[in-house]
Chains A and B, each alone.
Chain A
Amino acid sequence: MDARTLQEFRAVVGERGLITSAEELHTYECDGLTNFRVMPEAVLLPESAEQVQAIVRVCHRERIPFVARGSGTGLSGGALPVEHGIVISTARMNRILEVDLTNQRVVVEPGVINLDVTGKVSPHGFFYAPDPSSQSVCSIGGNVAENSGGAHCLKYGFTTTHVLGIEVVLPDGAMVHLGGRTLDTPGYDLPGVFVGSEGTLGVTTKVILRIVKRPECIQTLLAAFATTGEAGAAVSGIIAAGMVPAAIEMMDNLSIQAAEAAVHAHYPDCGGLLLVELDGPSAEVASLMERVNEICLSCGATEIRVAQSEAERAVFWKGRKAAFAAVGRISPNYIVQDGVIPRTALPRILEEIERLSAAAGIKVANVFHAGDGNLHPLVLYDRSVPGQEHAAEELAMRILELCVEAGGSITGEHGVGEEKKQMIGKMFSEPDLETMQLVRCAFDPLQLSNPSKVFPRPRLCGEKPGRYEPHPLETAGIAERF
């Protein structure tokens, strides 16, 4: 990058806001997916939307690709820098700007940490519903990019359900406001397509979030089964009984062992563990919890515990939320995968995974958002064993293929990013992907914003579409357009 451009960036963000030294840049060469690494030319840490806009304008003029980055916890390489590009970190844009309890809205900057939103409003009995396992460190801007989910999205929906409006700096440097404070703002649902676009349509600079009133009562049940098959049958029973629990989570034996080793959640040692959380009016929750209890027993549960206190409930969840990191206790290296299947395909897919795992000689631990079919296989391997990393990657991709074959998806909440852009073609045809990229062409025809992610090949956006101007003869009413 030439000195003049760097000087221009420095003028925008100041000396403290510009990182160019190799050792500091190392921090930014990957996100939560550590097996992909690219050194950026520079990292910029703007403190305001105006600074973001100034940076993007320079990038646009100089055709410098940029990647926006929140906390860097993403698991698909979405915040992986691109060659000859810069990283725009939103870490310093971390103010909660406005809290409107009456209308249940909060306005935040993109660097605000997910859990801090709930922290801010919980004294008033509210919470911010999307709860990815990384919620204590991940940022709202990153959540917007990935359309993050979490255990409770079964009932409450994903990030996209809770984002009403977004201030965005477009890749050409224009600042626009998508959606707003009220529902159904006139025009296309641009927040709908921006959320989950993985940073490819522009940089988020402010977000209007919806918060939710905490339910009167929350109860969490933990049930142990001999097998994941039995646990799966209990999930089917709960759904068939017409319930929509706040969360249903499943862990297999390997992931239970890992969680135990890491956080001592005192989970029973069993083949399949279920966590079922119900919330709502107390009277309702009490009667439904009885039904859940019956269903679990009839499906062969060997042990059932209902959390008797908020502290016990937190312990139940601690094991689950720590599961990814906990696997580090039982394996030197691992891949966290994220596939979705129609929930009813679970027994068959788990069997297949077991077969593939045995054939490859690589262990797979399974953590599962069982209510909505979102499977997180943790593929365990040892990088120091020659060939094992490659075999693990192949196995992880084969599992995703299984998900697609079952009518599911290659990602439920982690995004396509860098990691799965070659897989997306298994799920969508070329015309499907070309059609999606029409949106890309409308937002970012020069492909500067997080280029080379999500899609295996960029679409050529063609000539820049211009505003239709009627011919003078038409205007005069002499001719009509054919």
Chain B
Amino acid sequence: MDQAGASSPGGTAAATAEVSWEQLHALIGANYVRPAGPADAVMGVASQTVAEPADEMQLAAALRWANEADIAVAPRGGGTKLGWGNAPRVLRLILSTKRLNRIVEHAWADLTVVAEAGVTFGKLQSALAQHGQRLAVDPLWPENATIGGILSTNDSGALRLRFGGLRDLVIGVTLALPDGTLAKSGGKVVKNVAGYDLPKLVTGALGTLGVITRAAFRLHPLPPAEGRTLTFRAGSVSDANRLIVELQGSPLAHTGLQARARHDVQPEVDVRFDGTPAGIEAQCTTARKLAAFAVETGESAQVWNARQELWTLADTAAVAKFSVLPSRIAAACETVRRAAEKGGMKWKIVAQGTGLGWVRLEAAQPADIREALVSVRAEFERGAGSLFIANRPAGSGAIEAWGSPGDAYPVMLRVKQQFDPRGTLNPGRFVGGI
């Protein structure tokens, strides 16, 4: 099953015990339980069965049944980011949230929404747009990604700079725990400090503590007019970094700020303004003054697709998310460049003003990528940063998806053991083998 002798911090569920799947049929209906196919594998680990419960009660019942039968479970939403994280140690059941697809309540006058986990981001945004509102995040593959999956992978884009990450926008969740408990925390009002903030705890937890069955979010109004994006070409990555730091240190209220750098062209910096036409105009003027040392090259909102475009995957590419101090974006680019050049690789970076960024490495030999990622991660960690490998090419060898979780790792382990003592949920997929 897994690496022999490896210690399994989250406990482990069995791989091959005989199971009476009929019991699962009885819980959620035989029509919604089917054998898993090759497309259902998670990072090369095949599952036996896929189940699609109708609602959160069924989902919780199925999870409890699996937990008691020691069946390892991977929750799945749209399946757009199943390659993120570590390969599961073992997997037998995929619990899909596909049918949990209701928008429960859009209280537009209160700027909140409650939706089930399987609602796709695209569906949610269209519904919210009817009242001139949005959930102010820009995740990858919005048409297929579900809110449960977006939360579990903590996938945020350029809007994070102005509106905060998912952790700042999620105000409540309902969780199905391995023992079948359906527990809610938070609520559906924006301001609320009653009880522990579990919505934040499960954001980015990759489904290892419980299955998110519904979530409530605070919303923002859609910008009143089409925003404007300015793009500047910088002479070097340090000039690009300088521009980012200056824009961030200015009183401008931009809603996006990113640097794009790659092996073969000069870096560019994009900044976006939303708001009233007069406000946008005045801010563009200020931004141009600040960017006097760079060359303005265009105005196109297309540049905000750059993050997603990193995923036009060749078999030989890896994509990783990094986090560094905003002042160290240039240093991060240099680190990537050195490592890539050493291995003769192409590289691309999209780095946001928050210090979060994404890097794509492309090599002729997948094995070279591993070495580059390891050295880049070590360098980032020395500067208080981190590197999370979201996608890696086949043949690049085993490499932990996250780096060091630091001295709080024992606490994380204890949290996992409290929520999922039998190690049923996504065993081995999270940080440090959790």
Contact = CB atoms under 8 A, between A and B. Distances in A.
Nearest to B198: A436
Given A102-B249, A435-B181, A442-B411, A193 B197 contact: yes
A25 B200 CA distance: 37
Q: Chain B: interface secondary structure?
A: loop
Contacts of A215: 251, 253
B253 A432 contact: no
Given A187-B409, A344-B107, A441-B418, A435 B183 contact: yes
A10 interface: no
Contacts of A482: 14, 17, 70
Interface in B320-371: 321, 323-327, 354-356
Contacts of A243: 221
B38 interface: no
B356 A183 contact: yes
Size bracket of the A interface? 35 or more
A311 interface: no
Contacts of B11: 468
Interface in B398-433: 402-415, 417-419, 421, 423, 430-432
A342 B110 contact: yes
A384 interface: no
A76 B182 CA distance: 29
A283 B197 contact: no
A443 B245 contact: no
A476 B4 CA distance: 7
A470 B356 CA distance: 37
A333 interface: no
B251 A192 contact: no
Interface residues of B, number: 105
Contacts of B209: 188
A152 to B, nearest CB: 12
Contact of B193 (A177, A342, A413, A467): A413
A442 B414 contact: yes
B381 to A, nearest CB: 10
A135 interface: no
A21 interface: no
B15 interface: yes
A452 interface: no
A8 interface: no
23 contacts: A103-B326, A158-B193, A176-B406, A177-B408, A178-B411, A182-B384, A183-B165, A186-B404, A186-B431, A187-B408, A187-B430, A192-B197, A213-B250, A342-B110, A412-B189, A431-B183, A434-B183, A439-B415, A440-B196, A443-B411, A468-B423, A470-B8, A475-B5
Given A189-B167, A468-B8, 5 more contacts: A103-B327, A178-B408, A180-B406, A287-B276, A340-B187
The 4 closest A-B CB pairs, nearest first, are A192-B200, A284-B279, A242-B221, A435-B183
